[in-house]
Amino acid sequence: MHKIILKKQLSADVYMLKVYAPLIAEERSPGQFIILQLDSDFGERIPLTIADADTEQGTITLIFQVVGKTTTRLAALNEGDAIANLVGPLGKPTHIEKFGHVVCVGGGIGVAPLHPIVQGMKKAGNRLTVIMGARNKELLILEDEMRALADELILCTDDGSYGRKGLVTAPLKELCEQTPPPDLAVAIGPPIMMKFCAETTRPYHVHTVVSLNTIMVDGTGMCGGCRVTVGDETKFVCVDGPEFDGHLVDFDNMMQRLKSYKTQEQEAPHPCKLNQQIENMNR
């Protein structure tokens, strides 16, 4: 059992939890995730990125958006409650070294998984430009944390309620047009955003790392449910990833696979924010 030490609401449907998990806190690296399950018999196993960890407290930080059944139940838990099953850290850690100028792009909830990567890249001595996007001001998360790490922070909202009005791809393109262009781009967010970020950097040959959020079951390479097409190969996100070369990922196939259970989950009697999520993806 993993006790919830701290709970905070970051925006309308985004929550932050600090959970007691000392072994995972000790072993985790940026880019890795956990899988949790709220009930051993009938609960679903869902992956969430380790947004931060505190080895002294023995806690890990999870930041999640309420999109369906399990995230709704998770959001209803309070400090002092416990999560029945938590396994990790899973996935390959982010490849971190001194690249030079790194642009990190986070969209919506994708800012959460981006955070530990930005921390790592900073530590390795990179110059960091962070671009964060959300539909509106209320939905922007971790602004202060990112401001503290970034050499330059660019905020975008779809409706112009804060920062620049428009999509994250606009400032990304401007950065690519500079000479020299950035040495590396990291983009994490809705698949459609990652796809367009990759398309933006492609003509400039800026290597672009994306972190994929496929459907998962075990997270250890056993089921193949998380598979994606990368280049000509099939890869398992949980063990070969979650990060891949964005210029090689078949995002269209991935987006279709994410909707595998769409109708089935819509039929289920729970407050599903699916439509909103699809809207997000397709904006």
Partner 1 sequence: MSAHDTPQQIQHDAAEGLEQILHRKEPLKPKERMAIPMQKMPTQDPQIRRDNMQEVAMGYFPEQAKLESMRCLQCKTAPCVKGCPVGIDIPGFLAAAAEGDFQRSIGIIKQSSLLPQVCGRVCPQETQCQEHCTVGKSLKDVNQAVSIGRVERYVADWEREHGVQAPSVKAPTGKRVAVVGSGPASITVAADVRREGHEVTMFEAFHKPGGVLLYGIPEFRLPKAIVQKEVESLQAMGVEIKTNFVIGRTRKLLDLMKKDGYDAIFIGTGAGLPKFMNIEGENLVGVFSANEYLTRSNLMRAYDRERADTPIFKSKKVAVLGGGNVAMDSARTAVRLGADEVHLVYRRTEVEMPARVEEVAHAKEEGVIFHILENAKRIQGNEYGLVTGMECVRYELGEPDASGRRRPVEIPNSEFMIEVDTVIVAIGNESNPLIRQTTPGLDVNKWGNITVNDDGKTSLPGVFAGGDIVLGAATVILAMGEGRRAAASINQMLSTN
Task: Rule CB under 8 A: say whether 237 interacts with partner 1.
Answer: no
Binding mask 242-271 for partner 1 (x = CB under 8 A): --------x-xx--xx-xxx--xx--x---
Query: Bridge partners of 134?
Result: 157
Beta carbon nearer to partner 1, 148 or 268: 268
Peptide bond into 242 cis (omega under 30): yes
Stretch that binds ligand FES, among 55-63, 199-207, 210-218, 263-271 (CB under 6 A): 210-218
Two structure tokens written together for 141:
């998360």
Q: What is the Cα–Cα distance from 278 to 161, expressed in whole angstroms? A: 22
The CA distances from residue 20 to 54, 80, 84, 157, 281, in Å, are: 10, 10, 12, 34, 33
Task: Rule CB under 6 A: say whether 217 interacts with ligand FES.
Answer: yes
Beta carbon nearer to partner 1, 84 or 124: 84
- Report, in Å, the least distance between residue 225 CB and partner 1: 5
**Which one among 225, 248, 273, 281 touches partner 1, defined by CB under 8 A?**
225
47 conformational bin, left if phi > 0, alpha if psi -120 to 50, beta if neither: beta
Footprint on this chain of ligand FAD (rule: CB under 6 A)? 33, 44, 46-49, 63-65, 67-71, 109, 112-113, 213-216, 242, 258-259, 261-262, 265, 272, 274, 277
Kindly determine how many residues on this chain lie close enough to bind partner 1 according to the rule CB under 8 A.
Answer: 44
Other Cβ atoms less than 10 A from the Cβ of 2: the count is 20
Peptide bond into 89 cis (omega under 30): yes
- Which amino acid, residue 191? P
**Residue 264 binding target from partner 1, ligand FAD, ligand FES, none, CB below 5 to 8 Å by type:** partner 1
Q: Which residues contact 222 (CB under 8 A, 6 or more apart)?
A: none
* Sheet with 33-37, edge to edge strand ranges: 82-83, 2-11, 14-20, 59-65, 46-54, 33-37, 85-90
By CB under 8 A, the residues from 26 to 85 that bind partner 1 are 27, 37, 39-45, 69-70, 84-85
Find how far residue 201's CA is from the centre of its chain: 19
Two structure tokens written together for 39:
């009930």
Task: Rule CB under 6 A: say whether 238 interacts with ligand FES.
Answer: yes
Residues near ligand FES, by CB under 6 A: 216-219, 221-226, 236, 238
List contacts with partner 1 (CB under 8 A).
23-24, 27, 37, 39-45, 69-70, 84-90, 217-218, 220-225, 227-229, 234, 239, 250, 252-253, 256-257, 259-261, 264-265, 268
